[in-house]
Amino acid sequence: MKILLKVWMRMNFKEELRIRTDYADNVVKEFLPEEEGFNKELCEAMNYSVNAGGKRLRPILLHTFYKLFGGDSDIVKPCMAAYEMLHTYSLVHDDLPAIDNDNYRRGMPTTHARFGEATAILAGDGLLHQAYETFIKIFDTEISTRTVKALKIFGDKTGINGMLGGQSADVLHTGEIISDELLYYIYEKKTGALIEGAMLTGSVLAGCNDEDLAKIKRVGELVGLAFQIKDDIFDYFHDESIGKPTGNDMLEGKLTLPVLYALLHTQDKEMLALVPKIKSMTATTDEIAQLIEFAKANGGIDYAEDIMMQYKEEALLLLSEVRNESVRRALTAYIEYVVERTK
């Protein structure tokens, strides 16, 4: 009976997620710039980047938490769009030749591959500025302690102490065998900060109490970490639906948790000798395939999955202390989705 209930909840969640995704997608499109005038091509590139697919998880989370804590107005709409614009700007710049040099994302040409590098840089800049221009539209509706607090969260989670700080550490230490502390800092900031920020923003705008807000903050951190580890694991298995080749992280010079664990627990000189080649992005596809199999054979995938499940269990334990039953149910379903998703 418990298994059947869990399957039903998962199916119900998937349908609910689809509905929420469609709603979030429509909200985001409300705030995209018009493609006209002398900056028409720039706006086309910005809109192309946002409309190139994606899960819309950040605006979904923001809206969901706003509703779960009793919010009942459209004040969150500009915030939803702003988080997705900010997230998209980070992807546009991540894909650039100077950073990850990716020509495809979600099976489609990346922004610089479609419009050229210069326009892609400007499109990313445009989305960053558009995100803040959009977010502050909440002050057209209400100027209060909670709206000011929401903007502060947005700034904290997107800047040098949030997502941008994580991206910087990721770029500066690409291809290195780094400590667990630094790796988790990168995960928490680069991926987790916007997830946590979306949860907190929706909760704050709905008037969530400080006690529950502190728990939501930690749950957001844990979910962000689990989300990134799941993404890392995907990179070790071929799946065309993800839109990137197997071993793409290592092609970009990055050593993620599974292979880092295996390398830190080996004396295999042949495998260790490949690390400088990963850093310089001169490793062949055969050498990357060797590292992938090495990570699998030496407990890297198992270790990453164990850590991910630890984060899941800690998050669920924290949720048991949240007084709002609707929040507990919704977050439980979302956490299950994060660790069980297939792409």
Per-residue model confidence (pLDDT) at position 244: 54
DSSP assignment of 104-136, as one string? EETTEE-HHHHH-HHHHHHHHHHHHHHHHHHHT
- In this prediction, residue 10 has a pLDDT band, given cuts at 50, 70 and 90, of low
Per-residue model confidence (pLDDT) at position 182: 94
The answer to whether 331 and 319 are in contact (CB under 8 A) is yes
- In this prediction, residue 7 has a pLDDT band, given cuts at 50, 70 and 90, of very low
- In this prediction, residue 239 has a pLDDT band, given cuts at 50, 70 and 90, of low
**Rg (Cα) of the chain, in Å, rounded?**
20
259 contacts: CB under 8 Å, gap ≥ 6: 250, 291, 292, 294, 295, 300
pTM for the predicted model, two decimal places? 0.88
Per-residue model confidence (pLDDT) at position 5: 40
Q: How far apart are CA 335 and CA 223, in angstroms?
A: 7
The answer to whether 303 and 294 are in contact (CB under 8 A) is no
pLDDT tens readout for residues 171-214: 999 888 898 899 999 999 999 999 999 999 999 999 998 888 99
Whether the per-residue pLDDT at 1 is higher than 70: the answer is no
Measured torsion, CA atoms of residues 325, 330, 334, 337, in degrees rounded to the nearest 10 = 100
pLDDT tens readout for residues 262-318: 999 999 999 999 999 998 889 999 999 999 999 999 999 999 999 999 999 998 888
For residues 324-339, give the mean pLDDT.
80
Whether the per-residue pLDDT at 55 is higher than 80: the answer is yes
Mean pLDDT (the chain) is: 90
Residue 242 burial class via C-beta count within 10 angstroms: exposed 0-12, middle 13-18, buried 19 and up: middle
- In this prediction, residue 2 has a pLDDT band, given cuts at 50, 70 and 90, of very low
Per-residue model confidence (pLDDT) at position 336: 85
Would you state the structure tokens that stand for residue 171, as one six-digit string? 């770029």
Span of 4-18, 115-129, 146-160, 328-342 with lowest mean pLDDT: 4-18
Q: Which residue has the higher pLDDT, 32 or 248?
A: 32
Query: How does DSSP classify residue 240?
Result: G
Per-residue model confidence (pLDDT) at position 325: 78
For residues 68-93, give the mean pLDDT.
95
